[in-house]
Structure 1
Amino acid sequence: MPRLQTLPHRCPSVSIGGCFLLFSVLVPLSPACTPNAADDDEAGSETGDAIDAEHVSDGRERPAEEEITVPPNPIAPERYDCGAHDDPPPERTSPIAWSCLLDHTCRERFIIGHRGAGGDFGVVAPENSLAAFRAAILMATDYLETDPRVTTDGEVILFHDPEVDRVMEGTGTIEAMTFAQVRALSFQTDKYEGDFSCERIPTLREAIALCRDRAILMLDMNKTDDVEAVVAVIQEEDAVDQVIFDTSSLDKIDRALTLEPGLAIQIRPDTAADIAPQVEHYAPLIPTIVELEANILEEGAPIVHALPSRVTIDVFLSADLRAVFLGDLAAYAAWYDDGADMLMTERPYLAAIALGRL
């Protein structure tokens, strides 16, 4: 890999594609590592577009002869790919007490696997697949972010994009397809090490069964309006204590809590000034997690911690990039030191290595 010399001290507010374009100029990326531009519009609103580049680069000159060493994934693919498909779910490996995960007063250094073990920038397993969830559990991940959608015949499945073609072998729109049509599709697997030929788009029920008491499912409800279908599955699977209902829509949270008052919720205030009004809206319920953009972390984290609750941020365009392109695993700790309690990452195994879990 060509040497990465100097990065700008402060990266402007850009989309995922824009930030990777910056890095593709500085460090050539393979097509497999470059986010799909068509995914940018939908993903941009949820991935921390306002980037605090202090965490992307410190601006240091790096000697041309300096080697950049990035630890490989230490989990063998056969432990989570099709070779493990019929095995019992892996044991939980996170050192954090299970009781802490849904306790808004419990502050630790938590890891969230984005779409399981990584989305656009992931290299472990197809995003939002059961293999990705198995891998993330083995990587000592605490929470698994995933994307419920509902098929035309009412099945709640897990898939990020409205269209299937970026990730699957085939074409179509999820919400215009039956479950049988969705289930017939195979994942594109060329960029992954291991055998994922058996993997299919999973249902929420399957994910709950796999992850129960191993990792909390963080349900990104921005992809569907069918709150009722999702909450029904949670209740039918006796999984209220296994999930977090996460969305930027206060209306969706209101509807979900009307159906199931015991749900843990994550809110996404746009500014530090929005935190108090949104929290007051749900009083006496305190959100289990508050997601903040990086540019309001310094101001917003003390407000969240005083509730008390926990702060999550996305590190796709900051710590993940520093770890992969600069070999700087300390970038993860920097975010925790600055007030984040939970980091959502595309490379959960690197975050776990950085925290001494692997």
Structure 2
Amino acid sequence: MGKKSNVALAIAAAAGAAWASTKALSKPQSRSSKEALEYGHPIILAHRGGSALAPECSLAAFEKAAKLGVHGFEIDLRLTKDEEIIVFHDEDLDRVTNFNGKVADYSLAELKKADLGYHFTDLEGSYSYRDCGEQIITLGDLLELYPQMLINMDIKDAPQTYEGSLMPSKLWRLLEEKQAFQRVVVTSFYDEQIDRFNLYAQNAVALGAGEKEVKKAYTAYSSQFKHLYHPKADVFQIPVKSNVFPLDTAGFIKFLTSLNIPVHYWTINDPVVMKKLIQNGAKGIITDRPDLAIDALKLD
């Protein structure tokens, strides 16, 4: 046997020994159950209220989705100049309103004058929501209006900004005031924001997975070291693909499910894809088209 073969065998043996030792020392721990995530069937979350059917994050959108029978909403959160938490996605206002500038430049009273339906026309192109009175709403208002809904909320303000530095504590106080711990999920693309929020929540609120947590989980799943993954999230809200890596396989979903972590996919508007994801084990669909999702996911 040549020198190269001996080296290869030695490396393989060392890798095997490392795997065996970590396997013996590390025991994967499932996430404890959260009431917000205890549902016996796949669920539909209306993305920003169902942003293909009415202006995103508007009362019109939330009301349409609720009447269709969705199980909850997927929303984004931002902080105003006077430190009020509003339901809004973009940092800038001009894409969906008649205002210019950033959310953080305005008080809530000023933002209430913005036309949330300024740029929106319905799917048929026959009805405009401009000047129909659709206003930006607060998270507090949404929680009070829909106490029966699961609300998945995404902190959008970056942790290094002034607004982002305040958001975790502000959000915790609001959820505490509304006693909404058992019907919300708090997440963010920024893992740091989730961690900072949980300093207050102490795992009393269901947590989503940030970008780093998703990468960590997928890396573990793709390797021989799945047993080294110790999750920090109670639910994954993810796209079907991240760069070139598929996140929608039955194997990856099963890996997370084995740790008591349900998987929700965004933003899915194709009924065929919805059905495939549910068949693969997904527990939730986040969609702009709750009308299509309700029909596609009808349970037998």
Query: Normalising by structure 1, what TM-score?
Result: 0.61
Partner of 2:47: 114
Q: Summarize the alignment of residues 1-358 of structure 1 with structure 2, pairs less than 5 Å apart.
A: 102-103=36-37, 106-118=39-51, 122=52, 124-187=53-116, 188=118, 190-192=120-122, 193=127, 197-213=132-148, 215-224=149-158, 225=164, 226-261=167-202, 262-268=204-210, 269-270=214-215, 272-273=218-219, 280=230, 282=232, 287-294=233-240, 295-298=246-249, 299-316=251-268, 320=269, 322=270, 329-356=271-298
Higher-Rg member (1/2): 2
One-letter amino acid of the counterpart of residue 303, structure 1: F
Partners of 1:134 and 1:292 lie apart in 2 by 25
AA in 2 matched with 1:310: P
SS of the residue corresponding to residue 147 of structure 1 reads strand
Q: Taking every aligned residue pair, what percent have the same amino acid on both sides?
A: 22
Please give the root-mean-square deviation of Cα atoms over the aligned residues, in Å: 2.5
- CA deviation vs aligned residue, 1:57-77 (integer Å, no higher than 9, x gap): xxxxxxxxxxxxxxxxxxxxx
Task: Please give the alpha-carbon distance, in whole angstroms, between the structure 2 residues aligned to 1:139 and 1:277.
Answer: 41
- Gap runs ≥5 in structure 2: 1-32, 159-163, 241-245
Change (3 A) 1:147 1:279: farther
Number of equivalences:
239
* 2:26 alignment partner in structure 1: none
Task: Supply the AA of the counterpart residue of 1:223.
Answer: D
For 1:190 and 1:301, the matched residues in 2 are separated by: 36
Instruction: Note the alpha carbon deviations across 1:1-31, whole angstroms, 9 max, x for none.
Output: xxxxxxxxxxxxxxxxxxxxxxxxxxxxxxx
Between the aligned partners of 2:248 and 2:84, the Cα distance in structure 1 is: 37
- CA separation of 1:181 and 1:315: change in aligned 2, threshold 3 A: closer
TM-score normalised by length of structure 2: 0.72
Q: Is the 8 A contact 2:186 2:206 kept in 1?
A: yes
CA displacement, residues 206-255 of structure 1 (integer Å, 9 cap, x when unaligned):
01011112x11110113352211122111111111221101233322222
Q: Partners of 2:220 and 2:191 in 1: how far apart?
A: 12
